[in-house]
Structure 1
Amino acid sequence: MDCSAYKLYNVLGFDSRQHLEHYYSKNAKMVFGEDTLIFPVKKLTETLSLGHIKGDILIDLSKGSPIHHLYSTCAFFKHLIVLKIKDRCILELKRWVDTRTGAFDWCHAAQLHVDLEGNSEQLEDKEGKVRSAMQHVVKCDLEKENITEPIDLPPADCIISSCLLEAISKDQDDYVRNLRKFSKLLKPGGYIIIVGLIDATYYIVGEHKFYNFRYDEDFARKVLVGEGFTIDFCEVKKRSNVSDLTDYKGIVFIVAHKATQV
């Protein structure tokens, strides 16, 4: 598909609040809950509960301003560093971190984590831990080889990327280049967890239609292996909703670790 027919997220950006309302809210009309909220949160909770993915630093590189997937990470990482390519997404996220009036309500995501983890932790405690751990929200530039330049971040133990690679990549080569840049932020032996839209060509935010690079599970696997990763887990969930907001066929959840340098 010709990407010039649609807008590009990394070029023009979108209304971050509308994006959250369309795909991550607790609104009864939001039909993507099973795919965008429950599935990735459940898989991430199961993955982290195994205990081998942990450390000092987790970097989140995700499209828009979602934080629903970060609640469980606080028990396994000391610091959460969130990288964003658009100022609007940073402002949206900081509004929640600073508990400002009008911040997006993520209580439904916190409750989901509490239920899945089977503990009696209060929602306020859950959200407080995420806010405390999320010490740095940093703007990055995907055009640079070091996307956080001029800041040099310490190597991360784990990177989580949700629906971003396909939103910023025009084609296969672009996807590989972007994954390679992400990989440079990882320490040897570190893990990358990718949540992606399978066979999607577009998604809508507000009145605007955005391009999505179309790929399948086999492509995602081959690219990771080609970049020196070993895949530990991969599962694809078939789409479970009806909506014209986006045309993805499934959601992929992949866990892979980077080769250890000798």
Structure 2
Amino acid sequence: MESNFTGPKDYQKYFHGRDYLQTYFDFDQCDIQGPSWLLFILKQLHQTFSSGDVRGDTLIDIGTGPSIYHLLSACECFREIIATDYLDRNLQELERWLKMEPGAFDWSPVVKYVCELEGDSEQWAKKEEKLRKTVKQFLKCDITKKNPLEPLALPQADCLLTCLCLEAACKDLDVYGKAMKNITTLLKPGGHFLLFLVLQETYYTVGQHRFSCLYLEKEQVEQIVQETGYCVEHLEVAPSLEKDVSTLADYDAMMFLIARKMKGV
């Protein structure tokens, strides 16, 4: 699988943000009972940010893609969110929604679900407005670089978030570990690192194209996080509910981790 691992050129050629959104987020207005990984991470992020333990001035999201689902709870706890991605067209798709341009993807079913978790689904329009005001920048990002936001040098953030990114961009554990160290340079000592990924996956599908995924076990991820200089504060794993019925991806489980960057790292 490694020799055929889809890399940057494949993403530039075949990955289109709108195809991704229509593959995984095209829900009925009244029902988002979609992939179990989505409901899992929305609930985990709601619990994390509503606790009040993870908050601050700046959150940097690594590998935002064309998506906003994972930022909906975060926007209540940070003054500024910086979205990043490798593909310019993903950032353009995101910008289209942020600026309410014609043809922007309709995220309202997901927004309503998050507002329902918060206690009032009728507040979804205010939630969208809040997120649009909180995402201040959307920047090019390459996690293989020591400074992933090169040539920019930003102040270190209070929180680092990444969802479904590293395992899709890293062909082996060595590259994964180096990418983890690279993005960690963007986080303040003592800051929180929130990581969401899928386990034991080899591929996922966008439109008509399959993209590789690094096969990871829980213990491998936990070890790399700790070796990077984090203290793990919370870790939760849940099984996939689609493994035997979906051909979009072959993951076995999903994992959410909260860690704190140790001082001196």
With the length of structure 1 as denominator, give the TM-score of the two structures. 0.93
**TM-superposed deviation, 1:64:** 2.7
Q: Corresponding residue for 1:5?
A: 4
Q: Is the 8 A contact 2:18 2:93 kept in 1?
A: yes
Could you tell me how far apart the structure 1 residues matched to 2:190 and 2:46 are? 21
Structure 1 partner of 2:199: 198
Higher RCO structure (Cα 8 Å, ≥6 apart) = 1
**Residue 35, structure 1, aligned to residue 33, structure 2:** no
Q: Secondary structure at the match of 1:33?
A: coil
Structure 1 partner of 2:170: 169
How many angstroms does 1:207 deviate by?
A: 1.7
Gaps of 5+ in 1: none
Return the alpha-carbon distance in structure 2 between the equivalents of residues 153 and 11 of structure 1: 27
The question of whether the paired residues in 1 share the 8 Å contact of 2:73 and 2:114 is answered with yes
SS at 2:101's partner residue?
coil
Whether the 8 Å contact between 2:58 and 2:158 is mirrored in structure 1 is yes
Question: Which residue does the alignment assign to 1:15?
Answer: 16
> d(CA) in 2 for partners of 1:142 and 1:58?
17
Task: Give % identity.
Answer: 35
Change (3 A) 1:44 1:207: same
State the alpha-carbon separation in 2 of the partners of residues 178 and 64 from structure 1: 17
State the 1:136 CA deviation: 0.1
- Secondary structure, counterpart of 1:187 in structure 2: strand
Which string of whole-angstrom CA distances, capped at 9 and with x for unpartnered residues, describes residues 181-239 of structure 1? 11000000011111101000011112211110000111111111111111111111101
CA distance in 2, matches of 1:77, 1:31: 26
Structure 2, unpaired ranges of 5+: none
Conserved 8 A contact 2:63-2:85: yes
Write the distance in 2 (CA, Å) between the matches of 1:31 and 1:122: 17
Correspondence 1:89-100 to 2 at 5 A: 89-100=90-101
Tell me, in whole angstroms, the C-alpha distance in 2 between the residues paired with 1:230 and 1:122.
36
Pairing of 1:1-262 with structure 2 (within 5 A): 2-8=1-7, 10-13=8-11, 14-27=15-28, 33-62=34-63, 64-119=65-120, 122-241=123-242, 242-261=245-264
Work out the CA distance in 2 between the residues paired with 1:169 and 1:120.
37
Counterparts of 1:145 and 1:69, CA distance in 2: 25
Normalising by structure 2, report the TM-score.
0.92
**In 1: Cα distance, 2:68 partner to 2:248 partner:** 21
Equivalent residues of 2:32, 2:113 under 8 A apart: no
Paired residue total: 259
3-state SS in 2 of match to 1:11 = helix
CA contact (8 A) 2:65 2:84 kept: no
Amino acid at match of 2:17: S
